[in-house]
Structure formats: C-alpha cells, structure tokens
C-alpha cells in the first residue's frame, strides 16, 4: 500500500460538553459512516481501538437501528491477553456492544495472546486481505483511534520505529517495543492512513498535551499519534473540554 502524505480531504474538531455528549456524538458519527458505506457498497467494515476512552461511544452505537448483519467488526490493536481478560480491547468492545444484535461471525478479533505473535499477526493480515480483496482496497469505512498519555496510538509506541512499518497490514509488536505494556498486535500506519473515516476520541486533562503534540508538526516516531495527520479520508477529532484545554 502506498503511504502518500496528503492532508485529509476533510478534517473537523468537535468539543463535547460532557461525557454523555461525547458518547452520543461519537456514536452518531460512526453510525453515519457505517450507513454511508452500506448504502454505497452494501456492507461496512469498522476497526475499533481500545483503552478506557471509547467504551461509552460503543455502547451508544449499540442502541442504533443499523443493518447489523452486513457490518464487520475488526480491531485496530490488541494486547496479549485472552478475550475474556479485562485488558482485552476485543472483550471491552464486545461488552460495550452487547445490546446490538451483531452476528457472531461478523466479529474478527486479533489473537494477540498467541505465543507465536508474528504468525498470529500474519493470520490477521491474511484475514484482512481476504475480506477486502486486494491490498490497495483496504480502506476501513470507519475506524476509532485514541491517544495514550505517552502519545501512542493503536499499539505504535514512541521512539520504537514501529510507525514506519509499511510492508504489512498488521504487525506483532514485541514487548521490547511497547514500554511496560507487553506484546501487542496492531494495524500498521498505511492501513490507518487509508481509513475512509477516522474518529479520534480524546478525553481528560492528561490528554491535553499529548493532543497538542499529535496535532503539531514533527517526528511521527517521537509522537506516533501524529500519523492521524496523514489520514486520507475524513478525520474527526472528538474531544472533551478538558482535553481541548477548555476545562
Ligand atoms: O493502549 C491503548 O491506548 C490507546 C489510548 O487509549 P485511551 O483509553 O487512553 O484513550 C488506545 O487507542 C489503544 O487502542 C489501546 O490499545
């Protein structure tokens, strides 16, 4: 996949007044992107980030009346834990989405707990290629992203060289490249760049400086969340007032 660095064709910032509004707006934006895809192509594919921020947005999304049987769910990144573990990005999203009648076969989890992480990442890479057809067409209709306190996004951590991985759709990230976090699996920068719609959800006062760094020019290796600046589709920064510096 090419990683042409252009500005997003459309970028907006929305500042929510409270947690409830943040979740409602996030769900509305995701639902709209999924419906647009279904109307245009008959199906939709979404990739979900984890962490503590997006759960309420997923729970709101689950209350929508969407064509659930034609929407496929993938993950942006995952920790090396089984699905029932409380740190599992997959598990957290499944719990948040529990109210939606999504067929089991539509969930595609990253098996990052596999002791052979490179093999598990290669399987997810092959799954994506199979689902999307050809590599150049791998453009998620919707993707959620977040920013860690250290500036990471997905499982691409600062100063580890992993933002530059471009020969794969999916990478296993060994523990020595995820400071203190253990092994991870992640979509790579080119896949993130090709999202048709990316929702970057950023919440809380601890994210104020990381957010500023993510939106400023500079090294992507130092601040991996800067890769959001290279997203080709629509990019929405959905912030709460504290992250936006208003609280
Ligand atoms: O480790 C992770 O953290 C980021 C940020 O999560 P947040 O809860 O601090 O917003 C997340 O986007 C990523 O998926 C997750 O694995």
Does ligand 1 come within 6 angstroms of the Cβ of 138? no
| CB burial of residue 128 (10 Å; 0-12, 13-18, 19+) | buried
Does ligand 1 come within 6 angstroms of the Cβ of 77? yes
How far is it, in rounded angstroms, from Cα 19 to Cα 16? 7
Query: Model ipTM?
Result: 0.97
Separation in Å, CA 89 to CA 76, 78, 128, 135, 181: 9, 6, 18, 25, 13
Q: Is the pLDDT of residue 4 over 70?
A: no
Q: Is the pLDDT of residue 13 over 70?
A: yes
Taking the CA of residue 144 as reference, the ligand 1 atom at the shortest distance is: 12
**Per-residue pLDDT band at 227 (split at 50, 70, 90):** very high
How far is it, in rounded angstroms, from Cα 165 to Cα 173? 11
Q: pLDDT tens digit string along 212-223?
A: 999 999 999 999
CA torsion 12-17-23-25 (nearest 10°) is -40
Identify whether the C-beta of residue 108 lies closer than 8 Å to the C-beta of residue 70. no
Does ligand 1 come within 6 angstroms of the Cβ of 49? yes
Separation in Å, CA 25 to CA 39, 57, 105, 150: 21, 8, 28, 26
Identify whether the C-beta of residue 144 lies closer than 8 Å to the C-beta of residue 201. yes
State the distance from the centre of ligand 1 to the C-alpha of 42, rounded, in angstroms: 30
**Per-residue pLDDT band at 2 (split at 50, 70, 90):** very low
Q: Which domains does the chain have, with CATH numbers?
A: 10-244 (3.40.50.1360)
Helix (H) or strand (E) holding 12: strand 10-16
Does ligand 1 come within 6 angstroms of the Cβ of 67? no
How far is it, in rounded angstroms, from Cα 36 to Cα 193? 19
Q: pLDDT tens digit string along 37-54?
A: 999 999 999 999 998 999
Q: Is the pLDDT of residue 187 over 80?
A: yes
Q: Looking at the DSSP assignment, which residues form a beta bridge with residue 246?
A: none
Q: Which of 50, 157, 238, when mutated, tests ligand 1's pocket best, judged by the most ligand atoms within 8 Å of its CB?
A: 50
Question: Mean pLDDT lowest for which of 7-11, 19-23, 32-36, 207-211?
Answer: 7-11
Taking the CA of residue 53 as reference, the ligand 1 atom at the shortest distance is: 8
Does ligand 1 come within 6 angstroms of the Cβ of 89? yes
């Amino acid at each position: 996949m090419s990683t042409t660095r252009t500005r997003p064709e459309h970028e907006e910032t929305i500042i929510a007044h409270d947690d409830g509004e943040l979740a409602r707006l996030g769900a509305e934006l995701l639902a709209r992107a999924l419906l647009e895809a279904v109307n245009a192509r008959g199906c939709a594919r979404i990739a979900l980030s984890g962490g503590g921020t997006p759960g309420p947005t997923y729970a709101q999304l689950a209350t929508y009346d969407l064509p659930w049987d034609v929407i496929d769910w993938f993950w942006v990144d995952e920790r090396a834990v089984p699905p029932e573990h409380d740190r599992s990005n997959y598990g957290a999203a499944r719990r948040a989405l529990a109210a939606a009648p999504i067929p089991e076969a539509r969930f595609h989890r990253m098996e990052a707990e596999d002791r052979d992480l490179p093999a598990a990442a290669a399987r997810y890479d092959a799954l994506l290629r199979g689902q999307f057809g050809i590599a150049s067409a791998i453009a998620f209709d919707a993707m959620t992203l977040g920013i860690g306190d250290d500036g990471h996004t997905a499982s691409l951590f600062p100063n580890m060289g992993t933002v530059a991985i471009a020969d794969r759709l999916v990478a296993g990230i060994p523990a020595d490249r995820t400071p203190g976090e253990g092994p991870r699996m992640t979509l790579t920068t080119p896949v993130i760049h090709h999202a048709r719609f990316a929702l970057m959800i950023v919440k809380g006062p601890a994210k104020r400086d990381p957010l500023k760094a993510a939106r400023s020019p500079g090294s992507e290796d130092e601040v991996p969340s800067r890769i959001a600046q290279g997203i080709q589709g629509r990019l929405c920064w959905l912030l709460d007032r504290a992250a936006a510096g208003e609280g």
